[in-house]
């Protein structure tokens, strides 16, 4: 049994993670953490309208719940809060699975430093399909390196998403940059200049209720290859986060990704 604490418990992802955890006999939700301005009641069951969760606490103070949980699942969508949650969790030597995106390089460094003290899993995308896409993009880029092919990334998300480009698009661009030996990542284009050979373009579209689409284009002369992933439900990410929580419980301190969970 894995006892989980969900940060961002009343958000789009937090709700799905809690709902799916209730259907999983190996997982127990011990409580939820929310922003202090977004706590309608101190009872998670009442806040979510779930009889099964009656009596489980909802708080803005993660430290109150840490003694009762094994793994924190962090989807607050607030990078500063997420780093704070990772610090508190590492202090207690408990594990954390971080799904929040939009971290600065400095914040990622801080999180990696904390993984010396406790197990930390960070992944901008917990779906099996996207993690496979990361691998496929690397394979394609290795084959197409130095073949006069331009690589570009496009993503689409719902109108409420705060960070742009998505953490997944950033990771895809990083894989391309490293594998193709390119130095410049260009976010959107405007003006009068042809594309330089050394760049990878990243375009972010926002609108409606799109759960998450990502396409990597390899644009050559006479042909092009497109690798696309489309998420049609948040449950694919929520299930991934729950699998990650089961996997990380009891692990040695270290920095992990979904590749470790999925054996990719």
Q: CB of 151: closest distance to ligand NAD in angstroms? A: 23
Whole-angstrom distance, CA of residue 168 vs CA of residue 130: 8
Instruction: Tell me: does residue 102 bind ligand NAD (CB under 6 A).
Output: yes
Instruction: Tell me: does residue 10 bind ligand NAD (CB under 6 A).
Output: yes
Among 18, 29, 81, 151, binds ligand NAD (CB under 6 A): 81
Among 59, 89, 101, 215, binds ligand NAD (CB under 6 A): 101
Write the burial class of residue 208 (CB in 10 Å: 0-12 exposed, 13-18 middle, 19+ buried).
Answer: exposed
Whole-angstrom distance, CA of residue 242 vs CA of residue 115: 19
Question: Segment contacting ligand NAD (CB under 6 A): 124-132, 142-150, 171-179, 196-204?
Answer: 124-132
Write the burial class of residue 209 (CB in 10 Å: 0-12 exposed, 13-18 middle, 19+ buried).
Answer: exposed
Q: CB of 81: closest distance to ligand NAD in angstroms? A: 3
Residues 143-162: x where in contact with ligand NAD by CB under 6 A, - otherwise, as a string? --------------------
Instruction: Tell me: does residue 76 bind ligand NAD (CB under 6 A).
Output: yes
Q: How far apart are the first and last CA of the chain?
A: 25
Q: Among all residues, which ones are annotated catalytic?
A: 157, 161
Instruction: Tell me: does residue 31 bind ligand NAD (CB under 6 A).
Output: no
Instruction: Tell me: does residue 7 bind ligand NAD (CB under 6 A).
Output: yes
Cα 41 to the center of its chain, rounded Å? 28
List the beta strands (DSSP E) in 37-128: 58-59, 71-74, 95-98, 119-122
Q: CB of 111: closest distance to ligand NAD in angstroms? A: 14
Among 6, 13, 65, 83, binds ligand NAD (CB under 6 A): 13
Write the burial class of residue 23 (CB in 10 Å: 0-12 exposed, 13-18 middle, 19+ buried).
Answer: exposed
Which residues contact ligand NAD (rule: CB under 6 A)?
7-8, 10-14, 33-35, 38, 75-78, 81, 99-102, 123-126, 163, 237
């Amino acid at each position: 049994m894995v006892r989980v604490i969900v940060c961002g418990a009343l958000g789009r992802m937090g709700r799905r993670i809690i709902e799916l955890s209730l259907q999983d006999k190996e997982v127990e939700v011990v409580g939820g953490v929310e922003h202090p301005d977004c706590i309608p009641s101190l009872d998670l069951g009442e806040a979510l309208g779930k009889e099964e969760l009656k009596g489980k606490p909802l708080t803005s103070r993660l430290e109150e719940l840490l003694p009762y949980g094994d793994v924190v699942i962090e989807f607050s969508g607030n990078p500063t809060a997420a780093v704070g949650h990772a610090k508190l969790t590492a202090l207690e030597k408990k594990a954390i699975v971080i799904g929040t995106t939009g971290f600065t390089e400095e914040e990622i460094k801080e999180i990696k430093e904390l993984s010396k003290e406790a197990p930390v899993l960070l992944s901008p995308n917990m779906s099996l399909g996207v993690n496979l896409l990361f691998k496929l993009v690397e394979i394609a880029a290795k084959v197409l390196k130095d073949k006069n092919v331009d690589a570009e990334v496009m993503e689409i998300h719902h109108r409420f998403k705060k960070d742009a480009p998505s953490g997944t698009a950033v990771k895809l661009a990083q894989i391309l940059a490293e594998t193709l030996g390119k130095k410049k990542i260009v976010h959107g284009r405007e003006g009068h200049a042809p594309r330089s050979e050394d760049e990878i373009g990243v375009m972010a579209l926002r609108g409606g209720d799109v759960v998450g689409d990502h396409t990597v284009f390899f644009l050559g002369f006479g042909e092009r290859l497109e690798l696309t992933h489309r998420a049609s439900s948040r449950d694919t990410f929520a299930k991934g986060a729950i699998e990650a929580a089961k996997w990380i419980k009891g692990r040695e301190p270290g920095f992990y990704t979904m590749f470790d969970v999925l054996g990719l």
